[in-house]
Amino acid sequence: MTVHATIEAVWRIESARVIAGLARMVHDVGLAEELAQDALVAALEQWPRDGVPDNPGAWLMLTAKHHAIDQLRRKARYQEKLAEVGRSQQQREEPEEPDPPIEDDLLRLLFTACHPVLPTEGRLALTLRLLGGLTTEEIARAFLVPEPTVGQRIFRAKRTLTDRKIRVELPPEEELPQRLASVLEVIYLIFNEGYSATGGEDWMRPSLCQEAMRLGRILAGLMPGESEVHGLVALMEIQASRTAARTGPSGEPILLLDQDRSRWDWLLVRRGLAALDRAQSLGTLGPYGLQAAIAACHARARTAQDTDWSRMAALYVLLGHLSPSPIVELNRAVAVGMAGEPAKALEIVDGLAGERALKGYPQLPAVRGDLLEKLGRRGEARAEFERAAALTRNAGERTLFEARAAAL
């Protein structure tokens, strides 16, 4: 591996920790990222000449801290800011006070990047940039948006945090449920965009799934007593276990019931089920835990015919009480139809026709088409699949719906 490749790998691993530690010092996410980038530039200049240090992460952190001190010295309020970064940096001979655990810094940074004052797209981009170590170009490519758009989202997010004087700190206990929900939402949105891409040629973008699962596992390690954190990890790992079986040789989508389950990643399945057990052991399941329990119904069935659709439908009822949503009702209709009651399921779907949240949602006519086919109403079913194909922005999904229509 070349020195530059080593630097790139080290940066991807260590950048979040470096930025998190700096953010605690300077109380500004944007400034912390700039200082970390300065340390990266220094590494690119020095490591090819002097060699890679024994502890590259510590080298980056120390270099970035030195840059922070130099910058603070140039500011008018030098004495006030210097006290925040520690007087031990002034007098090296004095014993240093230990820094807080790096895990605390990472948790602060994650909660700050996912702060609810930021719009959703800002939280997504900032989290992937600061916690994932992704470049603006990589984020833009993953979400199929222009690079300048992502750059502006990140810039506005950092400026909002500065203008609103949002400190890089953990939320007070009374705000924790709401703030944790914001963090979990961001991680799952990243995963979902990877698992079922909303646009483009590819049905999946596995790199986003991997990044979301990595963030979820970090959060589970930082907050081991939170049931919903483990529930989200379980949900993502069980769903991601199907990745290899979800597309055919030409990249065409393969629906869940048609997948070769021997191609599922059974290590991920076991990990997901273990995370679900941890979530259940910590108390009543929340929305992510219930979705993981639904996913587990598929994971525990060695064949599609073995799926416990009645249990799945009952779990959707619980999820609907806890987190009401027309999409939850649509998924419940699928389970009811698969449990042998397509007419009842069609009633549920038809009751969702006026939902604004489902306007333009291709899965609504697709589910309706599937139920109509089960009821023998083939002409109506074909029209619904054609409508679904016209609505979707994903090429692979469009091909799938068109094939269903053609078969009818």
Phi, psi for residue 172 in degrees, rounded to 5? -60, 160
Q: Are 344 and 322 in contact (CB under 8 A)?
A: no
Residue type, 251: G
Reading the block at residue 385, the tokens are 């699949």
Residue among 336, 337, 345, 234 at smallest CA distance from 290: 234
What is the rounded distance in angstroms from the CA atom of residue 322 to the CA atom of residue 39? 46
Would you call 145 helix, strand, or coil by DSSP? coil
The C-alpha atoms of residue 241 and residue 321 are separated, in whole angstroms, by: 28
274 CB-contact burial (10 Å; exposed 0-12 / middle 13-18 / buried 19+): middle
Amino acid letter for position 180: L
Residue at 263: amino acid letter: R
β-pair partners for 394: 200
C-alpha gyration radius of the chain: 24
Taking the CA atoms of 216, 218, 223 and 227 in sequence, report the sign of the dihedral they define: positive
Query: For residues 133 and 58, what is the distance between their CA atoms, to the nearest angstrom?
Result: 17
Instruction: Report yes or no: 301 and 238 within 8 Å, Cβ to Cβ.
Output: no
Q: What is the 3-state secondary structure (H, E, C) of 53-105?
A: CCCHHHHHHHHHHHHHHHHHHCCCCHHHHHHHHCHHHCCCCCCCCCCCCHHHH
Question: CA torsion angle for 337, 367, 287, 198 (degrees, to 10)?
Answer: 160
Rounded to the nearest angstrom, the gap between the alpha carbon of residue 264 and the centroid of all alpha carbons in its chain is 21
Task: Record the pTM.
Answer: 0.76
Strand partners, 253: 247
- Give the span between the Cα atoms of 211 and 391, in whole angstroms: 28
Give pLDDT, residue 101.
Answer: 47
Nearest CA among 398, 386, 356, 403 for reference residue 199: 398
CB 396 within 8 A of CB 251: yes
Tens of pLDDT along the chain (408 residues) come to: 688 888 888 887 788 888 888 888 888 888 888 888 888 898 888 888 888 888 888 898 888 888 888 776 766 455 565 566 655 454 444 444 444 444 578 888 889 999 999 998 999 899 888 887 778 888 887 677 889 999 999 999 999 999 998 888 888 888 888 889 989 998 988 888 788 766 555 656 777 888 889 889 989 988 899 999 999 999 999 999 999 998 888 877 888 888 999 999 999 999 999 999 999 999 889 999 999 999 999 999 989 899 999 999 999 999 999 999 899 999 999 999 999 999 999 999 999 988 888 888 999 999 999 999 999 999 999 999 999 999 988 888 898 899 999 999
Do residues 107 and 131 make contact, with C-beta atoms less than 8 angstroms apart?
A: no
What distance in Å separates the CA atoms of residue 148 and residue 400, rounded to the nearest whole number? 33
pLDDT of residue 143: 74
